[in-house]
Structure 1
Amino acid sequence: MQTPRPSPSAINKARAQHQQSTKGSWNKGRWMLLLLALVCAAPVIASYLMYYVFKPTGGTTSYGALIEPQRPIPGELLVTDEKGQPMPLTAMRGKWLMVIVNGSDCNEQCATRLYFMRQVRALQSAERERVVDVWLRTDDKPVSDVIKNAYPEPDTRMFVADQKALAQWLPVSDGTQLTDHIFLVDPNGNLMMRFPKNPDPAKIKNDLAKLLKWSRIG
């Protein structure tokens, strides 16, 4: 007995059902891939949010002022190191940098900020090796032996830099000047934060501790 051939309408109906089933399977698979991608990306997204929009305990904003938009270390910004050799400041990328600007005479305000930076760094315990204190000197006059001995390399670096170039990179708040602030630069070389004049070192420590905890770079 010859098997009857399906009618054209039946063939078209079966074809439509197959296409609908295939399309449904494809859409389901695509959504599964998207969901998997979101799950994999979640830690990265969370890290990014905590890195740039973190809030200390209590829901208040960070103590330091976040610098927006980012200001990377200018590629043309050259400094002179402790041995009198020129180098781009971008060579310091890879570490968290706490930065001050002052003349080489280092007045009382300068000495206080150097002390604060040293204490903040020391209080990071095992994480302190990820942090370098940087004093950008606006002249090439000699630094006193007392300061050199109190803040030795490599924990503290003392570079000579052009004050005008620094002023173009480092923003100040209203009513202050470049020498009033401690700045924080991330390991990617981006200026991230500016702390206020006459800062509270305990609050600087808290900001830095959270950044070191939530970001594994540097």
Structure 2
Amino acid sequence: MSDKELLIPASQTDSSAINAQTRRGRLQMLLLLLACAAPVIASYFAYYVIKPEGGKTNFGTLVHPVQSANPAWFGVPLQGKWTLLIARPAAECQIKDEKCIEALFLMRQVKVAVGRESSRVQLLWVNMDGKPVDLEVAKAYDEKVAGFKVVSLPTDSKQRTEFLEWLNKEGAGEQIQLIDPSPAKMMYIPVTNSPKEFASIKKDLEKLLRLNHKGENL
């Protein structure tokens, strides 16, 4: 032991050792807390800085954040169902109008294609002009045959304005809109007659039905 060490009181030596141990303990605790918090910090960084992509789809475009839907706009229950919605004027939706018929046909075929899960999906056509649906169209796309519920625009002016703003957000008014069971719009889908794109839409819906049961009351 050196002369300098002999000059340091024992109490001071013990205190220095204790302080050093305390500092090491605090550093270890801090490192442990950082290690535990790293995933949380990373998720916050990804959400607020990088921004999420909202997952991947095969064809449809995910809506982020989702856009709440008001069942009062339609007079049809939405909660607990996956709803494919289209908005078209009845006057423009004739058998000869391929664009409109393609949209109805696509929705009907997607519902059929999900097989046993089809009872979890409903089809909604918002008749934008309130005129009678063409008889030929009605026969092929009524509720009993194809599962379509045809509703008119809200009569209340405030609700009508709210619905139209909701419908046309992100320029999606002409597309098929998918409403989740909460209910909220969470995806919009372009109208297509491509078999390959139809298969991709089917995969998107099947994936959602497989992974998401929360909120359904079937």
Give the TM-score category using the shorter length.
0.5 to 0.7
- Please say if 1:204 is aligned against 2:204: no
Number of matched residues?
Answer: 181
CA 1:190–1:10 in 2, change beyond 3 Å: closer, same or farther?
A: same
Which is further off, 123-132 or 159-168?
Answer: 159-168
8 Å Cα contact 2:88-2:128 kept in structure 1: yes
Tell me the distance in 2 between the aligned counterparts of 1:197 and 1:117: 9
Question: Superposition pairs for residues 102-141 of structure 1, below 5 Å?
Answer: 102-104=88-90, 106-108=93-95, 109-141=99-131
2:60 aligned partner, one-letter code: G
1:78 pairs with one of 63, 73, 76 = 73
Q: Look at both structures and tell me which one has the larger radius of gyration over its CA atoms.
A: 2
SS of residue paired to 2:74: strand
Question: Superposition pairs for residues 17-36 of structure 1, below 5 Å?
Answer: 17-27=20-30, 29-31=32-34, 33-34=36-37
Task: With the length of structure 1 as denominator, give the TM-score of the two structures.
Answer: 0.62
8 Å Cα contact 2:60-2:204 kept in structure 1: yes
SS of residue paired to 1:171: helix
- Please say if 1:94 is aligned against 2:80: yes
Match of residue 161 from structure 1: 153
CA 1:197–1:173 in 2, change beyond 3 Å: closer, same or farther?
A: farther
* Aligned-pair CA distance for 1:205: 1.4
* Aligned-pair CA distance for 1:211: 3.2
CA 1:210–1:76 in 2, change beyond 3 Å: closer, same or farther?
A: closer
1:212 aligned partner, one-letter code: L
1:151 aligned partner, one-letter code: A
RMSD over aligned Cα, in angstroms? Answer: 3.6
The structure with more helix, counted as a fraction of residues: 2
1:54 pairs with one of 46, 53, 56 = 56
* Aligned-pair CA distance for 1:34: 3.4
> Where does structure 1 lack aligned partners over 5 or more consecutive residues?
1-5, 57-62, 82-90
* Aligned-pair CA distance for 1:124: 1.6
CA 1:126–1:29 in 2, change beyond 3 Å: closer, same or farther?
A: farther
Match of residue 85 from structure 1: none
* Aligned-pair CA distance for 1:9: 1.6
8 Å Cα contact 1:80-1:161 kept in structure 2: no
Task: With the length of structure 2 as denominator, give the TM-score of the two structures.
Answer: 0.62
2:89 aligned partner, one-letter code: G
Tell me the distance in 2 between the aligned counterparts of 1:27 and 1:68: 36
> Where does structure 2 lack aligned partners over 5 or more consecutive residues?
1-8, 155-159
Tell me the distance in 1 between the aligned counterparts of 2:61 and 2:203: 14
Identity rate of aligned residues, in percent?
Answer: 23
8 Å Cα contact 1:80-1:160 kept in structure 2: no
Match of residue 191 from structure 1: 185
Tell me the distance in 1 between the aligned counterparts of 2:192 and 2:161: 23
